[in-house]
Each structure stands twice: as structure tokens, then as C-alpha cells.
Structure 1
Amino acid sequence: MTTLRVGTAVPEASARRKAGLPRGALHLLLIAGAIFMSYPLLWMISSSLKPESEIFSSTSLIPSQFKFSNYIDGWTALGVPFTGFYLNSLILCVAAVLGNIFSCSLAAYAFARLRFPLRGLLFALMLGTIMLPFQATIVPQYIMFKSLGWVGTFLPVVVPKFLAVDTFFVFLMVQFIRNLPSELDDSAKIDGCGPYRLYFHVILPLTVPALATTAVFTFLWTWNDFFSQLLYLGRSVQGYTVPVALSTFVDSSSQSSWGQMMAMSFLSLLPILGFFTVFQRLLMDGISTTGLK
């Protein structure tokens, strides 16, 4: 009996040691990669605390002299407190998130559960729009919004979100809804639920992970969007969002304000980090379960 225990224990211990070596090396590799990937963020934080002359002349991440005035001066550098730019971006992001959650989930529910003529063709055409570059439609869209009198307002950025124009999120939710048991629909129909009650009371509560994924990515993409906001929101400083306001630090007053721009860039990341942290678990659930059979 003793011989058997020794004979079985040694191979198991040896197998654990062999399995532990690659795992330890993998962890070291991941740590090194994390440090490498986080270096630009660390450099930005360090530059936001450096004097203007030291940002590009020194490679050290530790400033020789901490200049906290970059945050104070940068907050009012454009003549308008940065609070207004934050508020504009938050209004756009909240409206875009609500629009995408409602419209994309409703369109996905129709494609995944309802039966109507040309459903397959319409779904294929919708997926085909993913291959259409944004630059191919920007001119006719601008002409249309200009004729409607929407240029210079939030409407060109917000209204399309309520029309399910983000095909990626529609496809993501279609895949998620298709994985829900169809018996739930049959039970709800027996209880007298119509299509709308089925959507609001059965399908929508079960798609929370997919909705969270849509909300997080919509928030990130809208917050970081520069081109559309620069094109449609007009030239007034009061209408600037955070990305548009950051771009003005480079040539504001005909001089570069790198320290202030780095300080405001770091502050602009805080809402993104906070939003991602709050919805991280639901985001991971939505990504990991979408498309599974």
C-alpha cells in the first residue's frame, strides 16, 4: 500500500511542478505586458505634473518639480470652465446610451423573435452596412441635417441613436436573444402577452448583460468621438465637448499648452474608468455569453 501511494504521489507532484512553470512564466509575461501597455498612461499623468520645458526633454516618470497648477490653469484655459465641456459630453453620452439600448434591443427583438416578410433579407442588408465606411455617408448626412436646421445642436449626434443605426449592437443583441429559450415566449403568450408585453416583461429583463455591453461601448465611443462632435456641434466654445476642447490646447493662443492638455486629458479619463468599473461584471457576462449555444 505504501509503495502504491508513493508511486502515485510522485507523478502527480511532478505534473503539478511541470504545469506550474509555464503558468508562472505566463504570469510574468502578463505583468510585463501590463506594465508596457500602461506606460503611456503613466507618462501622461507624469507629464501633467511637469513644467512645460521638462515634458519632452526628460524621460523620467518622476517630475523634478511637481506643477499642480497645470490642473488649475487647464480647467479655465479656454475662458470657460471645463465643467461645461464635461456636462455637454455627459448629456450626449447619456442620450446615446438610452437611444441605443432602446432602439437596438427593439430591432434585435424583431429580428430574433418576430416573423415578418423579408426578415432574412433585411437582416442581411443591415449587416452589410457594417462594411460601409463612415466617410461614405458623412456628406449626405451633413446635407440632410443642415437642411433640417440641426447643425449646431446635439440632434445630429443623438437622434440617429434612437433609430438603431449601430448595426454592431443590433447583431450582438440578436445573438443574445436567440439563445434565450423559446419556451418562455410560448408561456408568455399563453398568459396573454402580446409582442410588446413579451418584449418589455420577458425579453428585456433577460438581456441585461447584452444591454450593459451596449451601454458601456456606446458611452466609450460617444465620449471619445471627436469627428462627429466637431462637425455638428458648431464653433461656439460653450458647445464644445471634452474631445473638442482638448484639441484646442495645442494651438490655443498660438502656443502649445502640453502640461494643461495632459492634465485635462487625465481628468477626461476618469468618467470612462468609473463607468467601466461600475458595469465591468455585466460587460464581461455579456461578452462571454453572446453567441454561445
Structure 2
Amino acid sequence: MIFGRRRSRNPLVLALARHALLVAILVVILYPLLWMVGASFRPSNEAFGTLSVLPGNLTTENYVEGWSFGNLNFSRFFLNSVVITLLAVVGNVVACSMAAYAFARLTFPFKKTMFALMLGTMLLPYHVTLVPQYVLFNELAWINTILPLVVPKFLATDAFFIFLMVQFIRTLPHELDDAARMDGCGHIGIFRRIVLPLSIPALGTTALFTFISTWNDFLGPLLYLVRPETWTVAQGLNGFLDATGESAYGPLFAMATLSLAPIVGFFLVAQRLLIEGIATSGLK
């Protein structure tokens, strides 16, 4: 033979190499987070003294000091963030699922045009609508309230989640709708008894993404929540930075670590629904 047979590679070696590469990438990605957690247990004057993720002089003073640092009240900030985030999750899940059902199952004039326009809104940067929205909410006297951050969620303004659920609902067999109609169900009954229970993965994905984006949102609360008693956790973290640009890094790292706990917990609870929702929403 002119060409010799290619030497077969050991599958075990390839598997070990892939896993080693994935572990290396994971370490690079997680290192800043682990370093911040370790720094939260170090004294403030030693926060930047080492690159190690393990604290040398272990202390919990940063958490005690940060929880009520100066005029900051993180008990209030966490409560505000929880209320706003939960209302945003409920609004997106309810409103976007109803809009998605209409696009996926109903027939009405200009349906395709309206669906295309809805998708087109995803191409608009948030900053394009920022000023008109602020003027509108100011005319409604909603500034310094949570209404600008919550009410739009109940009006199905997040086109991405509508598209996600439309794709998921389209995978559900129409025979289920026909069977429900034979039992006397209208569109409300079909939506409540058939579509919603079967759309749990897509609803979980919507809830998780809404929770993360709302909890981490800084620009929205910065615009509409001016009084310190209405601040969210993201605004509270910014409060550690004074006018000179200096910061109490120890308490800042401590509160930043605590702010990640709800996101990590929510993700661990809903990760199965997240994977199912993303994996099946694109299937026909």
C-alpha cells in the first residue's frame, strides 16, 4: 500500500485531553468570582495583597460592616430587589405566554406582520427608547416608584421571551387542542388546561432569564429610583464608591458575594427547565 493506515488514537487519551481543556477553561472563567469570594473574607487593607483565592486572615467583619455601611441599608435593598424581581418574573411569564399563544394558535388579520414587527423590536437598542419611556413615566408621575420597572413586564414587552414560547407552543400537537374543544373548552380553557402545563420548560426558561436580568439591572433602577429607600441591591453596591473614586473594597466584595446567592440558587433550582426549554423551543 502506498499510503499506510492512519494510526488510531486512544479514546481515553482524547477524553482526558478534552476534560483537561474544559477544566482549564472553567478555572479561568471562575477565578475572578472565586477571588472575590475569598477577598470578602480578608481585611479591607489586604483585599488586593494576593492573587490567592484563599483568605489568609479569615474574618467576617466585611459582611457585618457592609450590611449597614454608612447610610446604606442592605436589608431594604434586598427586599426591594426581591419585590421588583418577583413581579417582573410573574409579569413576563403571564403576559408573554398569553401573547405567544395568540401568535402560535390564533388566526387574526395581519398576524404575520405583527409578529415580524414584534421580532423587529429585538433589534432596537435599549437606549433608543430610553428617553421616550422616561418622559412617559415622568408624565404618569411614576418616578421614584417601582411601576416603570414592573408594569411593562405585564404588557408583554420582551419580544425574546414571546418568540421563545411561540417556538415551544408550535411543537405541541394540534390534536390536543381539538380534543379540548370536543370537551367544550374555548381558547382560555385550552391555554390554561393544555398549553400552560405542557409549556413548563419554556416558562421556566423565561422565569430564570427574567430573574437574572432584573436582579442584575442597574440602569433601570438608577433612572427611576432616586431615593435611597427605594434602591435595589445593584444601586446599593454602587453606594460603596464615594465621590473621590475610592471604595471600601472589603464590604463591597462581601455584599457583592451575597448578591450572587439568589441568582445561583434560582439557577440551581431551574437549570433542568432551562435546558429543556432551550433544547425544545427550536424543534418543529
TM-score by length of 1: 0.91
- In structure 1, the residue matched to 2:119 is 127
Q: Contact 2:212–2:263 (CA<8 Å) still a contact in 1?
A: yes
What secondary structure sits across from 1:129 in the alignment? Answer: helix
**Aligned residue identity for 1:102:** V
Tell me the TM-score normalised to structure 2 length.
Answer: 0.94
Q: Post-superposition shift, 1:181?
A: 0.5
After superposition, the C-alpha distances for 1:21-49 in whole angstroms (9 at most, x for unaligned) are 21111011111111111101111011112
Can you give the 5+ residue segments of structure 1 that lack an aligned partner in the other structure? 1-13
Indicate yes or no: 2:232 matched with 1:244: no
How many residue pairs end up in the alignment? Answer: 278
1:181-220 alignment, distance < 5 Å = 181-220=173-212
Residue 142 (str. 1) matches residue 117 (str. 2): no
Q: Distance in 2 between matches of 1:55 and 1:80?
A: 21
> What displacement does 1:91 show?
0.2
Q: Does 1:280 align with 2:271?
A: yes
Q: Tell me, yes or no, if the aligned pair for 2:72 and 2:239 is still in contact at 8 Å.
A: no
Out of 254, 261, 275, the residue aligned to residue 263 of structure 1 is 254
How far apart are the structure 2 equivalents of 1:61 and 1:204?
45
- From the two aligned structures, give the one with the greater helix fraction: 1
Answer with 1 or 2: which has the greater Rg: 1
SS of the aligned residue for 1:279 comes to helix
Q: Distance in 2 between matches of 1:227 and 1:46?
A: 28
Q: 1:186-245, CA deviations, whole angstroms, 9 ceiling, x for partnerless residues?
A: 1111111111111111111110000000000000000000000110112x2111100000
The amino acid across from 2:156 in the alignment is A
Is 1:71 the equivalent of 2:63?
Answer: yes
C-alpha displacement of 1:255: 4.3
Aligned residue among 152, 160, 168 for 1:168:
160
Query: What CA distance in whole angstroms lies between the structure 2 residues aligned with 1:282 and 1:117?
Result: 34
Aligned residue in 1 for 2:96: 104
Q: Distance between the aligned counterparts of 1:77 and 1:254, measured in 2?
A: 17
Deviation, 1:164, is 0.4
Cα contact 2:204–2:274 (8 A) shared by 1: yes
Counterpart residue identity of residue 218, structure 2: F
- Note the C-alpha offset of 1:82: 1.2
Tell me the CA shift for residue 144 of structure 1.
0.3
> Displacement, 1:87?
0.5
SS at 1:57 equivalent: coil
Amino acid at match of 1:220: I
Report SS of the residue matched to 1:62: coil
- What is the RMSD computed on CA atoms of the aligned residues? 1.6
- Structure 2 residue aligned with 1:81, among 47, 50, 73? 73
Q: How big is each residue's C-alpha offset from its partner over 1:122-170, in whole Å with a ceiling of 9 and x where there is no partner?
A: 0000000000111010001000000000010000000000000000000
Q: Secondary structure at the match of 1:74?
A: helix
